[in-house]
């Protein structure tokens, strides 16, 4: 973790909402704006913060189709390099959004995104399944996203509190 003061709280604030103004972040952190800016810069330099992005419900963006799949990969670890060499080969593909080495009955969990089911099928058969060291794949297509990145994708968050004298 970074050496900056109260780094966890700062990371929590940014993780929850990175669109807050620097002034507001500084107020929450009991820092000056300059201190808050410097602390965030430091978190970026230290590799604690790698980027900033929105959590998007792609179903509501008609111009873009996004299909995603979770793929279980069984592989043969390589001498001296274990799983790392293979992982490097897999995560270089832009279609791979998330790659984890897993405990349990398979080795890698790969989240892949494409514009259609056939896009992903092609990627799995042509690229992943045929990769040296890969023993088998099991592809699970995402049918509906209920929650992602801590955000619920279904229903609404309307304020339903009623009038009461308190």
Partner 1 sequence: MTFNPELFLSQSVTNIPPSGIRKFFDIAAEMDNVISLGVGEPDFVTPWHIRHEGVYSLEKGHTHYTSNRGLMELREEISKYMKRRFRLNYDAATQTIVTVGGSEAIDIFLRTVLNPGDEVLIPEPSFVCYKPITQLSGGVAVPLLTKAEDNFKLTPDVLKAAITPKTKVLVLPYPNNPTGAIMTKSDLEKIAEVLRDTNILVLSDEIYSELTYGMKHVSIAELDGMYERTVVVSGFSKAYAMTGWRLGYACGHPAIITQMTKVHQYAIMSAPTTAQYAAIEALKNGDDDIEVMRDEYDNRRKIIVKGFNDMGLDCFEPQGAFYAFPSIKSTGLSSNDFCEKLLYDMKVAVIPGTAFGECGEGHIRCSYAYSLNSINEALNRIETFIKKLK
Within 14-73, which residues bind partner 1 (CB under 8 A)? 17, 20, 24, 27-28, 30
51 three-state secondary structure: coil
Smallest separation (angstroms) from partner 1 to the CB of 98: 25
Tell me the two tokens of residue 50. 């790698």
Instruction: CB nearer to partner 1: give 13 or 49.
Output: 13
Instruction: CB nearer to partner 1: give 24 or 42.
Output: 24
Report if residue 159 touches partner 1, rule: CB under 8 A. yes
Taking the C-alpha atoms of residue 155 and residue 27, their distance in angstroms, rounded to an integer, is: 32
Among 4, 10, 13, 43, contact with partner 1 (rule: CB under 8 A): 13
Of the candidates 28, 31, 39, 51, the residue with the CA atom closest to the CA atom of residue 3:
39
Smallest separation (angstroms) from partner 1 to the CB of 166: 4
Instruction: CB nearer to partner 1: give 79 or 147.
Output: 147
Instruction: CB nearer to partner 1: give 9 or 45.
Output: 9
Count CB atoms within 10 A of the CB of residue 161: 6
Smallest separation (angstroms) from partner 1 to the CB of 39: 16
Taking the C-alpha atoms of residue 1 and residue 44, their distance in angstroms, rounded to an integer, is: 12
CA angle in degrees (0–180, nearest 5) for 122-131-118? 5
Taking the C-alpha atoms of residue 137 and residue 134, their distance in angstroms, rounded to an integer, is: 8
Check residue 81 and report its DSSP letter. Answer: T
Binding site for partner 1 (CB under 8 A): 9, 12-13, 17, 20, 24, 27-28, 30, 159, 161, 163-166
């Amino acid at each position: 973790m970074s050496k900056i003061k109260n780094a966890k709280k700062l990371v929590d604030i940014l993780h929850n909402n990175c669109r807050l103004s620097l002034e507001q972040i500084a107020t929450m952190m009991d820092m000056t704006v300059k201190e808050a800016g410097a602390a965030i810069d430091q978190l970026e330099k230290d590799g604690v913060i790698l980027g900033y992005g929105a959590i998007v419900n792609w179903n509501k963006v008609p111009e873009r189709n996004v299909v995603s799949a979770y793929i279980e990969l069984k592989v043969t670890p390589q001498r001296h390099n274990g799983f790392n060499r293979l992982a490097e080969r897999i995560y270089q593909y832009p279609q791979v959004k998330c790659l984890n080495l897993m405990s349990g009955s398979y080795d890698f969990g790969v989240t892949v995104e494409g514009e259609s089911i056939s896009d992903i099928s092609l990627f799995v058969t042509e690229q992943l399944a045929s990769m040296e060291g890969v023993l088998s794949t099991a592809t699970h297509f995402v049918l509906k996203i209920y929650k992602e990145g801590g955000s619920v994708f279904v229903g609404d968050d309307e304020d339903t509190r009623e009038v009461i004298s308190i």
